[in-house]
Amino acid sequence: MALRLEVERVLRAQELGLALSYVALAGTRGGARVWAMQASNAIAASASGLLYLAGEPVPRSRRAIADRCAALFGVDGQAFAKLLTIRDRKRERVDAVQLLDSGLNILNRLLDSVERISLPTRND
């Protein structure tokens, strides 16, 4: 129960933090890449926690995390993989606006999913 509440709390904070950090960092090309990598790390950790809560083994690769989240929680797997693997594409220009939009959509979908994981009742 504590882990579920923590994952939910972190996802809610990430939703707000994603937009705030975007405003602070994404104004330059280098800042956009830093922002995208920070967002990628945070969301990957939360998605891993959510997979664990769902009774799934936590995948070793970021792409596998995106694939499992797409299958289990209905996130856009391609967009999620693009966000989670941003650090692997060092020369690719970062479209921060597109990543912000897809990141917020992914976070909302993950948040919906964690809210559906029922908390045990006091009688359990």
Domain extent listing, the chain: 2-116
Asked if residue 54 lies in contact with residue 43, where contact means CB atoms within 8 angstroms, the answer is no
What is the predicted pLDDT for the residue at 76?
93
User: Do residues 47 and 74 make contact, with C-beta atoms less than 8 angstroms apart?
Assistant: no
Write out pLDDT tens, residues 16-59.
Answer: 777 767 666 666 767 777 777 888 888 899 999 999 989 999 99
Tokens at 33, concatenated = 């890449």
pLDDT of residue 124: 47
- The more confidently predicted of residues 23 and 14 is 14
pTM summary value: 0.79
Going through 1-124 in order, the beta strands assigned E by DSSP cover none
Q: Give 55-91 pLDDT, tens digit per residue.
A: 999 999 999 999 999 999 999 999 999 989 988 877 7
